[in-house]
Structure 1
Amino acid sequence: MDRFAAMRLFVRVAELGSFSAVAQQMGVARSVVTRQVAALEQHLGCKLMARSTRSLTLTSAGAAYLEKCRVILNLVEAAETDIASERQTPRGPIRISLPLSFGVKRVAPLLLEFARRHPEVTLDMDYSDRRVNLIEEGIDLSIRVTRQLASGDVARRLGGCVNRVVAAPDYLARHGSPRHPRELAHHAFLGYTLSNSMVSFDIDGQLLNVPVRPQLTANNGEVLAEAAAQGMGITSQPDFIVEDWLASGRLEVILRDFAMPPLGVYALLPGNKQIPHRVRVLLEFLAERMG
């Protein structure tokens, strides 16, 4: 039995709460995972997990062993990372999750440059606006644009951007231009799916949340900007989404005197895990180029 491999499998099973999920992620049969954990239990002479048809829970010995395994495996990975760092040649796979619009427009050119510089690194890029679970999905690095991080996020700020409230000249000619954020409640609004029908402004250091009535919702800002350009309503989008529409004159900024809370661009990392050398090199590259 490869004890370190068995310990890694045990940690993965404990984190995901499922032998099947770990087997699927690794591309092996479920029996391979169960045999490894069973061999580890036999070696230790105690049960680490209580199994049933519907659930899997750690025993008291398993919970204590899990924490020690994490410490040991982090030390092992740190030692291996130090050796890799000394070689100065990043190599191996990196799975990275990116938001669709920002990822394609701003990050993709940087990732392609990074791939050309480091041909021994293989990048697996997943473009989606959904929030991914880095540990469950085996993601090494996630780029997110958000106003506020979630509790427990392990992140590094790479930069920022600003939101703009925009509408088509045709819409404003037909319905008038709001002079105060509260007037948005009387307009057709094109809202981002996760915004909870609220638009936020920073007025004299105080956060003003304005309720709006979505005429249309979508989980992608490009769609909402196009709908606004067609005169369907008002929308609030980051500058990297609306810049082309503003330059063409199809959209114009309104409520210029009212600032919106800034958005941060963050690199999110799996918690409680030593960053592999190849991921650290990519992180430093993105921080330098996007900062």
Structure 2
Amino acid sequence: MDRLDAMQLFVRVAELGSFAAAAQQIGVARSVVTRQIAGLEAHLGIKLMARSTRRLTLTSAGTAYLEKCRVILNLVEAAETGVAEERQTPRGSIRISLPLSYGLKRLAPLLLDFSQRYPEVMLDMDYTDRRINLIEEGIDLAIRITRRLDAGDVARRIGSGRMLVLAAPDYLSRHGTPRHPAELAHHVCLGYTNAGSALAWQFLVDGQLENFHVRSRLNANNGEVLTEAAAQGLGITCQPDFIADDFLATGRVVEILADFPTPELGIYAMLPSNRHVPHRVRVLMDNLAERLAAG
């Protein structure tokens, strides 16, 4: 039994909470994982995991061993990477999760350029607006757009964006142009459901952040659809600049309430844990941050 391999497998099983999930993620039979963990327990002479038909839990000894394994494996990875890695050509695979609209509009060209520049890196790009668990789904890096990170998130800010309130000129000519966020209550709005609440929009009024409830006629979890609906005169929507820009450029929508800023959006590179970050992942993060800053 290779002890380092067994330790890596133990950490993976502990993080996923399942022998079957670990086996599926690394592409082996469940019996192989079970045998490896049993062999590790026999070598140590302790029980690391308590298993039942419904769940898997770590013993107290398993919890302590897990933390030590993480430290050891991080040191091994850092040692193998070495101080000379900055002069090495990045190589290996990166599984990256990307938000759909922002990923297609802003990140896809950067990632394709990165792939041409570093042909020894294999990029596996997953475009989705679904909130995913990076560890469970084997994601090396995720790009997330949010106003607020959760406790425990391991993230690096690589860019920013802003929200714009949009309406078609035809809609405004028929219903009037709101001059204050409070007037939105008298208009038909189009809500983005992934924002947590499609019925309340936030604005800075006299330096204070305030919530304004809106009447939503149509909701969706995709900003492109909502902006198209606004362009067709169905109502007012609040969308990020990377979606709004194309519609504004053609005049299909105009920005309103520009005197009342919305909270800034942070664009973050999210990591599955605070363990040692592989060289290829750090190079990709640096590349994206540099290119986004350059506009």
The TM-score, its normalising length taken from structure 1, stands at: 0.97
| 3-state SS in 1 of match to 2:82 | helix
Aligned residues: 291
Structure 2 letter corresponding to 1:82: G
Matches within 5 A, 1:238-253: 238-253=240-255
CA distance in 1, matches of 2:287, 2:86: 18
| CA displacement at 1:271 relative to structure 2 | 1.4
Q: CA RMSD in A?
A: 1.1
Residue 13, structure 1, aligned to residue 32, structure 2: no
Q: Deviation string for 1:128-177 (max 9, x for gaps)?
A: 11111111111111111111112211111111111100001111111111
The TM-score, its normalising length taken from structure 2, stands at: 0.96
Partner of 1:189: 189
Gaps of 5+ in 1: none
Structure 1 letter corresponding to 2:73: L
Q: In 2 relative to 1, CA 51–84 (structure 1 residues): closer, same or farther, beyond 3 Å?
A: farther
Matches within 5 A, 1:129-208: 129-195=129-195, 196=197, 197-208=199-210
Moved over 2 A (4+): none
CA distance in 2, matches of 1:211, 1:172: 19
Q: Deviation string for 1:15-48 (max 9, x for gaps)?
A: 1111011111111111111110000000001110
Partner of 2:280: 278
Partner of 1:117: 117
Residue 290, structure 1, aligned to residue 292, structure 2: yes
Q: Are the aligned partners of 1:84 and 1:90 in contact in 2 as well (CA < 8 Å)?
A: no
Partner of 1:236: 238
| 3-state SS in 2 of match to 1:283 | helix
Matches within 5 A, 1:1-80: 1-80=1-80
| CA displacement at 1:265 relative to structure 2 | 1.0
Identity of paired residues, percent?
71
CA distance in 2, matches of 1:51, 1:83: 41
Q: Are the aligned partners of 1:84 and 1:277 in contact in 2 as well (CA < 8 Å)?
A: no
| CA displacement at 1:272 relative to structure 2 | 2.8
| CA displacement at 1:87 relative to structure 2 | 5.2
CA distance in 2, matches of 1:86, 1:200: 43
Structure 2 letter corresponding to 1:230: Q
Gaps of 5+ in 2: none
Structure 1 letter corresponding to 2:23: A
| CA displacement at 1:219 relative to structure 2 | 1.1
CA distance in 2, matches of 1:21, 1:284: 32
| 3-state SS in 2 of match to 1:134 | coil
